Structure 1
């Protein structure tokens, strides 16, 4: 998406956040929660095999890259991330 898409838009839907992440990470399972109802503070959980062998900060950088334009225009103001490989996700949901 171009920067112009976000200019003047005060909110982005959870579905748009999911679509932006999946555009960069097609294998990802993505859950998006709007934390305030204002469309600019999100909690996002991403499960992807692309995270295998990467440190947590590297995993987050991958997700941030997919949302860079929305964040640079402040269409997304705050983002809380939880990232998992498919294996670590299975462990997390079993606990």
Structure 2
């Protein structure tokens, strides 16, 4: 699995989202900025992402996954402080 494949899957699930993905083999890091996360607790946001990628995690294509989720407003604040 490549970062581009992960981005494609996430783009299909989170239409209109800003998505970044990177990897060092089977360890992936994703950042998703989407309005759909508004009002959601951090655990719920993570669950929404895992739901999309769970099949690939179970198969071993994704061994480890680091997830950052933001609303556009949260991302604006985080990126202003270079947290993202």
TM-score (norm 1): 0.82
Deviations 1:44-95 (A, max 9, x none): 1110001000000000111111111111101001000111000000001111
**Structure 1 residue ranges, 4+ long, deviating more than 3 angstroms after superposition:** none
CA drift of 1:33 comes to: 1.1
2:49 corresponds to = 63
2:18 corresponds to = 29
Q: Which runs of 5+ in 2 are unaligned?
A: none
| Coordinate RMSD, CA, aligned | 0.7
- State the aligned residue count: 81
TM-score (norm 2): 0.92
Q: Which runs of 5+ in 1 are unaligned?
A: 1-11
Deviations 1:6-48 (A, max 9, x none): xxxxxx01000001111111121110011x2x2x100111100
2:68 corresponds to = 82
Rg comparison, structure with higher value: 1
Aligned residue for 1:75, secondary structure, equals coil
